[in-house]
Amino acid sequence: MNGPPEQLGELADFRQTRKSGVWTYTYQLEGKFPEGKWLACTYGEADQFTLAKRLDDNIHSCSFTFRKGKYVGQNDIVIACK
């Protein structure tokens, strides 16, 4: 996110790939982020709960990899920022 979650700043540009039931979304975090770079994860059917953390200014990209979990509605997610 561009700025803390309460400012509702979202990132729009991402690259999506899909291979063998695994989806990966990669966000490029280059350019100006005057309010900082933030990672926010929402939980619940209507995003009732949010966990957020400010990222280091030196982070250039983040990738989110999703695969179906063992149970209905479950997803295994790996987040990697560099």
Phi-psi region of 21 (alpha: psi -120 to 50; beta: other; left: phi over 0): left
Kindly report the pTM of this predicted structure.
Answer: 0.78
The pLDDT of residue 31 is 85
How far, rounded to the nearest angstrom, does the alpha carbon of residue 64 sit from its chain's CA centroid?
6
The pLDDT of residue 69 is 82
Q: pLDDT digit string (tens) for 9-31?
A: 777 689 999 999 899 999 999 88
Q: pLDDT digit string (tens) for 33-81?
A: 888 999 988 888 887 888 999 999 999 999 999 998 888 878 899 999 9
3-state secondary structure 8-52: CCCCCCCEEEEECCEEEEEEECCCCCCCCEEEEEEECCCCCEEEE
